[in-house]
Structure 1
Amino acid sequence: MSRPQLAEARRVRAVELFEEGASNAEIARAVGVCSESVRRWRRVWEEEGASALRRRAATGRPPKLDDDQVETVRAALERGARAHGFEADLWTLERVGVVVDRVTGVSLSRASVWRLLTGRLGWSLQRPERRAREREESEIARWIAHEWPRIKKGR
């Protein structure tokens, strides 16, 4: 359940409790909000009715990608960057933008790509570890145990 849906469900439950005659404190405990929210909801409910506490349609510019397109992008990105012709299997905002354009025909700015990834897809920033492939843990441990104390003592 999304955050707006959860908030609406709380308000709907509060209305049911208003109609049963529950106190603001009881309702606040039951739906998990502060009593000030319940007082505000009760005022709206008394003045405008239960429908005034329903979720309203989002205002502002509609998103460039609909939900089906977002799922198409998710599937394309999960195949990996190499599957889309990139040398390394690493995603950058520019690369994601190219893939979005290829699979949906919609061109997004870097900021919009970031919002798509972190908001609608729920992904987070991941940075690759900067480590040599030839790294030998046993040699590093030996150096720290033997060489580093010798070097430090020489100061």
Structure 2
Amino acid sequence: MFEDEAGFTMTPPTARTWSRRGHTPVITVRGRSRRRLSIAALACYKAGERSRLIYRPRPDTRRDGRKSFAWTDYRDLLQAAHQQLGGPLVVVWDNLNTHLTSGMRAFIAEQDWLTVFQLPAYAPDLNPVEGIWSALRGGRLANTAFTDPAHLIRTVRRGLREIQYRSDIIDGCLTGTRLRPATIPP
């Protein structure tokens, strides 16, 4: 199982545009928004079963002012995945400071159903969830100017739901890392 977090803003990623030859294309975006949606996702692989994607969105409208996930949010995501998948978890994740907090380390140490491996520093090419974010940005989110935060959230959730039902996309993201389920730590 691989984990990663991504942030999406109201400013649209541009996939393609065009203009007449000799004219620079200009993309008009209505205002500049600091609204943000953070998402943590787990790409789940188990031999003999279809790949799965488990995710949790977190809008930036938290009372504590925090714009990204706290270690407790990751803890809750791992507990939900454990309940949903019904077995022990082996998680491979990056060196995000939230993953390395003392609270998270203590939580991991207390769980007999959870084993965690850290990816090397600066190795996003080894994390298949990076491919999920790329597929999302290049698909449903491409060339979309969001009208309000609710529109952003709806569009991201719809895109992730489409990916959830397409295990071939999730498998392709694993293949893109050149890892195979057999090479994932036991």
TM range (shorter): under 0.3
Q: Which has the higher helix share?
A: 1
Larger Rg: 1
Q: Which has the higher strand share?
A: 2
Compare relative contact order (CA 8 Å, sep 6+) and give the higher one, 1 or 2.
2
